[in-house]
Structure 1
Amino acid sequence: MHTLLKSAIGLAALSLSLQASALNILLTNDDGCRAPGIDAVYQALVAAGHQVTLVGPQNDSSGIGAASVVNPGQALAVTQLAQGKYCVGAPTGYTPPAGKNSAIGTPVDAVNVGLDLLLKDNRPDLVVSGTNFGDNVGPLTQMSGTVNAAVRAMFKGVPAVAVSTGIDLHLISQDPQAGYLKTLNAMDDTARFAAKVIERAAAIGAEARRVCDTSGGKAKAQCATNVLGLPGTTGLNINYPALEAGQVTGVAFAPIGDWGNVAFAPQQGADGVIRVNLVPPPTPTDEQMQADAYQLSLGNAVITVIDGNMTASPLLQAQAKLILGDLTP
């Protein structure tokens, strides 16, 4: 059995008796620094005993993906809402350069400000992003500001957890207000579930560090384990359904798939205007049914392991070298 897997099994056996210490957490999102979702998670993490610094975008940045400031010298406005709570946005009067799209005060900008400035001398153990209004599963993860804020943190060497609360798409299309309230009402349960996940994972991570320290650094698998009990800076993407706690089916562990209930497609109307519209998703295949979006549609809370490293496995790197190795510039 793989050494890391054996270590994980051994640590999991101890998890019920472990208690993790309080973590230093940077909390962000993409719905905005004042959004109800980030407040729900803030309250849940503080109630669990963690030290939390909130650094979110000034405005709603949903669907903005990994966009961030790329112009050297670009000013950012960082305002303090309260002790330990900050908003990151564009300076007053900012207008984009002529002929250029630009994003100022994005979720990635908030993570950068949090890690490189506000918490530079008190580096967090973990970054948490969310909870988002709407699920981030399947193809939505690529465009998600929530998920990409977590990915940015992992690129910068800090493990991260993205958290999202699902939408009842049928209800919100029929009755927007009722659909909005259904997701809103599930945010506290989402936040508590996320805090529970972090507590359990952090207990495993703490035990791994103890084993590493006891071994004098010789227990390589444990020494490579992060605060979530996972390798390196690996993190989690958590999606919770828009249901009352008693209606949630269970917890599913599923990969990100290429199918989702929410599907966008550009379409040209009779007036000649091209619009991006919601379109019915195709019938999922058996493989797609095992992935995150379908499992969420069954009423499960879904946990997916994610990694900020976009590089493929060493095996695939070697395969590419065999295919392309004789090329010259």
Structure 2
Amino acid sequence: MSINWFPGHMHKARKEIAEVMKDIDVVIEVLDARLPVSSENPMVSSLRKGTPVIKLLNKCDLADPERSQQWLEYFNSLPDTTAMLIDYQQKKLISRIPELCKQQVPARANAGRPVRAMIMGIPNVGKSTMINALLGKRIAKVGNEPAVTKGQKRFTLKNGMALSDTPGILWPKIEDRDSGYRLAASGAIKDTAIEYEDIAIYAAGFLRSDYPELLCQRYKLKELPETAEEVLESIGRKRAGLRPGGVVDLHKASEILLNELRSGLLGNISFETVDEWLAKWEAQRLEAERLEQERLEEERLAAEQQTDKRSRR
């Protein structure tokens, strides 16, 4: 599935971020711990251009602890990158973030100058909630749906840090099929921009594959259905009721599954693993090399043909 969802304020935000990035010392990127790469906007890396980044793997209380630890180790192995597992209730951990920002630019911090940080993240990863936690009061608008923050804002913290907020921005087109579905299942993309039952079937298939015990336990399934469609039908029969004629209400079943998945009622779940993405990136690298070799070979053959033409004249 390729999702194309890029509201006008997001396009404007990208231009504004590019303009002010030269004056930013540290980027704070808020990710969803349940889908760290799918919720990592590739535009952030290109916009920050080597500026140190602190990646906050938020909503870790909803994520699979074992998979979260693997992601933490992976991100901390990257250059100019510091990662933390976090959720907005961890006040002591959140209070360490300003000091962590100062450690990224010690010369500026030691000179007594405010460290200029920009907080970034795609919609609905908890960015505004994290700002309120950093400030110790509710200033940034918070909502349980994506695209609440519409414009850039700046806040000054008591501990010598200047914090810039940005709207949650997705990239223009989400090409990776699994990432698109995961973002939709997690609530990062407005429900009006997706096919609800399509996303629910994907989520049901994922849960059947990766977390069958949690799935059966939550919906009291005596045995695991053979397909994702049958999972959704089973949920519908038990929880959504039937339409006239004994037809399962799949839309209502989809709402139940996605709402309970997003809220954590099914248990601690992570949509992706480090090994999965490393394998995917390696496959992409090999494919890029193959295409480059084909291009070079085409250029070589074209050059030989030109040489042959000249020699026959």
> Given the two structures, how large is their TM-score scaled by the length of structure 1?
0.30
Question: Larger % of helix: which?
Answer: 2
Structure 2 length-normalised TM: 0.31
**Which protein shows a greater Rg?**
2
Structure scoring higher RCO (CA < 8 A, sep ≥ 6) equals 2
